[in-house]
Amino acid sequence: MSDQKIKLGITLGDVNGIGPEVVIKMLADNRIWELFTPVVYGSAKVFSYYKEGIEGAENFQFTTVKNAGEAKPKRINLVPCIDEEIRIEPGVSSQQAGKAAADMLRAASADLKAGTIDAVVTGPFNKENVQADDFRFTGHTEFFASEFSGEPLMMMCSEVLKVGLVTIHIPVAEVSRNITSEKIVATLGRLRHSLIADFGIVEPKIAVLALNPHAGDGGLLGAEEEQIIKPAIIEANKNKILAFGPFPADGFFAAASYEKYDAVLAMYHDQGLVPFKTLTPDGVNFTAGLSVVRTSPDHGVAYDIAGQGKADPTSMREAAYMAIDILRHRKNYAEMTANPLPHFERERGGRDLSVKDLKLPEQPDND
């Protein structure tokens, strides 16, 4: 698969949040079209509304197509899939916006299943207003897990840090009873496989965080480390997974110990995401473990700045780059594991180029 031929599906997310703005800003620089063919799921009305408030996007143009199969390279292809009469209210949470976000997601998912797009980058939605009788998911991860084969793993990724989660979108009060040795071992296995197949890391080293302060202080501050996490690490090592820990989360990040490992496994959502977003504010959310590739920016709907032209598209752009890189790594991994001959470059530590290593062509001279 060449990058030129990759069709990347993009959903706008909540139309009252910053999703439409960061998508327009990312695609307004037409040099990025050299890397993939954008297929945007949304609305011409939403595009037209938001481009007016974005400096430099006055000439932003898109082509409406009936479906992804009609998408043309080197242009922005829009697949209308929501009510064009939708009310656009930047900064306002509404059920209408929630329904539109869910409709875009379903349309992109259907095209992923049909193979008319190669991967999808999802704009942020509001987990509360998307809830409806026919949509009961606490996040994108859970939605894609229901739609595609595999066991999902929520990963936050950047060049600085990669974090996987044992538990995802559940209340903190329920974290402890949702952590078992078996679940940790299984999650470590999925994380290791993703690091190898999706990121090209030959044999990853994974740090495992403790659940309790001071890693439980030998049982004084909690028994999970001694009874659940340490046995899981031992079992993972038996399965040839290079897992280490458990490490107290505060000291681990304060001492920059994450630099010694290829990834970190956190026990719960905020334990992993707070340091990740602090250290890498332009990171990417990747749903690993599935048969398809889905990424997203690591920020939310940001109602407080929606419609003001202030939103930074960097994380959205990084999500697009990462989706392309993962597609390439998966292709290489499939070829490597299917071929019994040794791969000399890989053995001696050679690496694949990432999308960001490619030099984008210069902007054309309009004079």
Q: How many domains does the chain have?
A: 1
Q: Give the domain CATH number at 124.
A: 3.40.718.10
Query: Given the DSSP bridges, would you call strands 7-11 and 119-122 parallel, antiparallel or unpaired?
Result: parallel
- Average pLDDT for residues 333-352, to the nearest whole number? 62
pLDDT digits (tens, 9 = 90+) for 125-152: 999 999 998 899 988 988 999 999 888 9
DSSP 129: T
Does 19 have pLDDT greater than 90? yes
DSSP 359: P
Write down the pLDDT at residue 218.
85
Whether 182 is in a domain gets the answer no
Show the tokens assigned to 122.
């999802």
- pTM of the predicted protein model: 0.88
Please give the residue range of the domain that contains residue 41.
1-143+292-332
Whether 296 is in a domain gets the answer yes
Total residues found in the chain within this entry: 367
pLDDT digits (tens, 9 = 90+) for 201-236: 999 999 999 999 998 888 888 899 999 999 999 999
Helix intervals (H) in 36-139: 44-51, 95-114
Whether 362 is in a domain gets the answer no
Whether 242 is in a domain gets the answer no
CA distance 318 to 295: 9
Write down the pLDDT at residue 365.
43
Helix (H, G, I), strand (E, B) or coil at 266: strand
Check: CB of residue 275 under 8 Å from CB of residue 259. Answer: no
With residue 119 as reference, give the H or E element that holds it. strand 119-122
Whether 129 is in a domain gets the answer yes
CA distance 347 to 343: 6
